[in-house]
Chain A
């Protein structure tokens, strides 16, 4: 699954610092064969203090399941405005999700951390499945998730 967003539709926290200096960033998330239904994934960013800064993507359209993405849910209080326009389908076991976003340059090497919460129906919730610092040098190096994500990487 490939998703390109030509226009940035993120929350102000991620976009305002350097709207002029934005660059396309591709996030690739590949799931392992965990033997369940499609996974819900929430991609979001926290700042250097650990506070929620904004959401990048929500894979999964039914809001009644969002509470199982428990970290994201706690940070946003489940606010639909946080993912308005950046919501897609859930991702099947063994499949990968590729999204390309125009992200502000100032997000990199500034203490921001990218998190992915994952949840699958009738299986364990896996908040903080992935937590990687956003750095320019870290681009392209794959990271393994805790339960559902076999590898994740972002490329500048």
Chain B
């Protein structure tokens, strides 16, 4: 619901809001330029002196205006010809033209009315309203995602477009809220929608009838500093009934032109003060620095528009239509989906299709539609649930837990819950677990034990499918194909073999950079720009399910390199290890920005074992700036599987690698990489206390061992691995 409040105003008002933001950003420059270019009055200068100076230069002066930026303009008549100039208050003489800047005028009219007068003003006000709705709903979405105000600036994960969208939003939203609220106020004021609290000030009728008071002697002008002045209007020549009108930031005064006496003074009302303050906050007139800041924040709007559309389209694409969905009342199998971005819907569609093919009657629906009374024929519930943020319900599962809690008893048909998440995340499948706990508390009978799918692994999903088939009494093969980028052919240019003596053939495979058309490169498709740590998806012959390998090179290296170990019976690894130079394989790129070394200068602690050395070697190779890098590398036998042994030695010699500690698990003294860490505990604790980033790559068991060892090492310093993870300083690439 909240998402819809964010999406639809965003899509419908995108063009208007983009015009508003860009023209607003451009306009924000003018007050600052004016502030810097207009000659400013010396401190304490009073209006009487300024006026006398201007009168000396232009005897026919009839109006003096000072803008909040300090620019002073005088208007005069000289022998029947009107004149005007920007005044240097030190001399009273004109220094520049007073004509309004044509570019600024054009931009202002675009910004407030699209050159369409009232219809345009209303459109732009609608745009500002849309901006306000977007800002408020966006704040609520970010709060839901990060888990509260205190975590407002927490580190984000996920696809680049989504992160960029939120990164910009959480900084710019303050300015956008301010700009949109003040814009709506100004629009309301223009259309007379605001109540008027004070009658307009009007000059008094009783004047002396005399003329000729010298401005230097007028008390009100002597008392008013130039910095307070808004406008001084002179009486008309030859009209003895007219008066001097003085407007300041406090009110309006009238002065007799004969006696110089103050005839009346009317203070600005609170209402006028509020109006003027809001005007200043919106335009930056009188608050140039704030104006520039708001302008810069507004520049984020088009980027948020584009990334927002990308997220929306990606979400829609990822959510396939489900064909042949049975009505809730007629289906025996009820699939309930809790999905945020839509990828879980993809799994649900695969499951739906496979069960339908097996002759089942299946109904799939969002978890938020859960209503047990509707499911008259239900014999089993299958719940596929992702997690949003730090354990919240994803969009399509809103309200599910409350609904379940409110039931008098659990439905009779048993339930199987499958969680979807990313193990690198501290709240891995936390929402699915919450569903499990609630179901247990209700005494809901389980069909299958709770299981999880890490990072959309098709293999894990297939395994769960087989278990489900067994429970249902037939063979169920779930072949899930996420929507994949088009694969490209990669040609092997060299291979280096290791581990043959250990019956664990391992190869460093180097492929040529594939040719990518400009069009594809522009849109980021294809294998064109990548860094070590990104993933290469390989589609083995005879399977539609890709396997992912961490890249051991960046595109700047000019080749595509991965490390592959032959798995027993592994289809993909078998094909890869059998490649000879000149052979091809089809692959595609999947970015993995969470596992990049980053550009900071703080030390890197790289920990890996076996083929996990691949991306770590890539980081070291790319370390031309000689950032301190400490590598802990576990292998079985130094003679047979010391991957990158020669390069690592060379890199250490030329300064790319500060230190290398190896651990050999086979031989006289078995030693694992976590043992090597413990042996270096004091030094590691120091490095981490100084801000070092830890990157771990390897098998799941090794990663668990490393986490345990690091916890012990960090405990004396009062640090935890969880804190480091939250700060993005402890990242894992685990398989």
Contact = CB atoms under 8 A, between A and B. Distances in A.
A124 B105 contact: no
Q: For the side of the interface on A, what is the size category?
A: 20 to 34
A100 interface: no
Contacts of B118: 61
A13 B343 CA distance: 76
Nearest to A78: B200
Contacts of A124: 63, 75, 82, 84
Given A36-B100, A125-B63, A77 B82 contact: no
Contact of A147 (B82, B100, B203): B82
Contacts of A123: 99-100
Interface stretch (A18-26, A40-48, A62-70, A135-143): A62-70
B274 interface: no
B100 A122 contact: yes
Contact of B200 (A36, A50, A62, A77): A77
Contacts of A126: 82
Interface string A7-48: 000000000000000000000000000011100000000000
Given A77-B200, A122-B100, A124-B75, A36 B192 contact: no
A95 interface: no
A77 B192 contact: no
Interface in A46-105: 50, 61-64, 67, 70, 73-74, 77-78, 89
B192 A89 contact: no
Nearest to A76: B202
Nearest to B62: A124
Q: For the side of the interface on B, what is the size category?
A: 20 to 34
A74 B233 CA distance: 14
B82 A146 contact: yes
B109 A37 contact: yes
Interface in B176-213: 189-190, 192, 199-200, 202-203
Nearest to A61: B118
A40 to B, nearest CB: 13
Contacts of B199: 77
Contacts of A113: none
A77 B200 CA distance: 7
A146 B77 contact: yes
A64 B190 CA distance: 7
Nearest to B109: A37
Report which residue of A50, A78, A122, A128 has the largest number of chain B beta carbons within 10 angstroms of its beta carbon: A122
B695 to A, nearest CB: 58
A35 B102 contact: yes
Interface in B38-88: 63, 75, 77, 82, 84
A64 B82 CA distance: 26
A138 B203 CA distance: 32
A67 B200 contact: yes
Contacts of B100: 35-36, 122-123
A146 to B, nearest CB: 6
B680 interface: no
B86 to A, nearest CB: 13
Interface residues of chain A: helix, strand, loop or mixed (majority): loop
Contacts of B84: 124
B117 interface: yes
Nearest to B118: A61
Given A35-B99, A36-B105, A64-B189, A128 B200 contact: no
Nearest to A122: B100
Contacts of A125: 63, 233
B236 interface: yes
Nearest to B275: A64
A62 B193 CA distance: 11
A63 B100 CA distance: 22
Interface in B144-189: 189
Contact of A63 (B109, B192, B241): B192
Interface string B229-244: 0000100100001000
Contacts of A146: 77, 82
A11 to B, nearest CB: 18
Contacts of B63: 124-125
Contacts of B77: 146
Contacts of B75: 124
Contacts of A128: 236
B202 A74 contact: yes
Contacts of A61: 118
B60 to A, nearest CB: 12
Contacts of A63: 192
Nearest to A34: B99
7 contacts: A35-B102, A37-B109, A70-B245, A74-B203, A77-B199, A146-B77, A146-B82
Given A36-B100, A122-B105, A123-B99, 5 more contacts: A35-B102, A77-B199, A123-B100, A126-B82, A128-B236
Interface of A: 35-37, 50, 61-64, 67, 70, 73-74, 77-78, 89, 122-126, 128, 146-147
Q: Which 8 A-B pairs have the closest CB atoms?
A: A124-B75, A122-B100, A78-B200, A147-B82, A77-B202, A74-B203, A74-B202, A62-B190
